[in-house]
Amino acid sequence: MISLELSMVQKNQAESARLAAAMDEFISTGGQVSHVATPPPAPRPYGHRTAPAPFASPDRKPLPPRRSKKETMQRLRIAPDIEEAQAKAQTPKAPPAQLDRVRELAKTMSQGDVAEVTGIHRKQLYNMAHAYGFEFQPAAIGGAANLPKNQKDLARDAKNVERIKAFKEVGLNRAQTARRMDISTCYLRRLILDYAIDFPVTK
């Protein structure tokens, strides 16, 4: 250890001079100074844990036994037990509490009316009717069955047929004719088929 005190430095000057003179005398008589490599640094420790044992070492802990797919699924509860599912399937479900009332109301009322009277959701009423084999009455208002069907206007069709023939003679195609007449191409196609108009499709 190097001392920073002046007295110690002065005390060691004589020893330093003697060592320097001895080294010069050693080199002058043919001596050689060899440089020794420093030893490699010690490896760093393996963190706060010990290094893992080799795979073939007797100190290595054996791996736990592998579970089958069924055991893994039952342990993770991905799928219920087969016996439990079969037991639930064999157990008959109790009928709903208002089944008799809903069945009687369905004879004279629609599904929406029964839902308003009983307070049961329409999806539950649908499942109840599907499971126990009864039907509701059709609704008096609303529904696709009450929509008016399209009726043919013969006078209007006759006027449009004359206009189609006139545009055909001018040289317009089907798409241009439909745009000029402000009608749909489906209605134009129906008039051409119903009245046998010679209006070929241009490519």
Clarify whether residues 90 and 132 are in a common domain. yes
Radius of gyration, CA atoms only, the chain: 51
Domain boundary at 140, 165, 181, which?
Answer: 140
Number of domains in the chain: 2
Q: What pLDDT score was predicted for residue 105?
A: 92
pLDDT tens string 78-123: 555 566 666 666 666 767 788 899 999 999 998 888 989 888 898 8
pTM score: 0.31
Domain boundary at 101, 118, 140, which?
Answer: 140
Domain boundary at 140, 165, 182, which?
Answer: 140
Domain limits for position 124: 80-140
Asked, for residue 63, whether it belongs to a domain, the answer is no
Clarify whether residues 112 and 159 are in a common domain. no
Report which listed range, 42-46, 150-154, 159-163, is most confident. Answer: 159-163
Asked, for residue 20, whether it belongs to a domain, the answer is no
- Give the count of alpha carbons within 13 A of 53, CB side only: 8
Asked, for residue 98, whether it belongs to a domain, the answer is yes
Look at residue 58 and tell me whether its pLDDT is greater than 70: no
Asked, for residue 112, whether it belongs to a domain, the answer is yes
Angle at CA of residue 195, ends 192 and 200, nearest 5°:
35
pLDDT tens string 154-195: 889 999 999 999 999 998 999 999 999 999 999 999 999 999
Clarify whether residues 175 and 126 are in a common domain. no
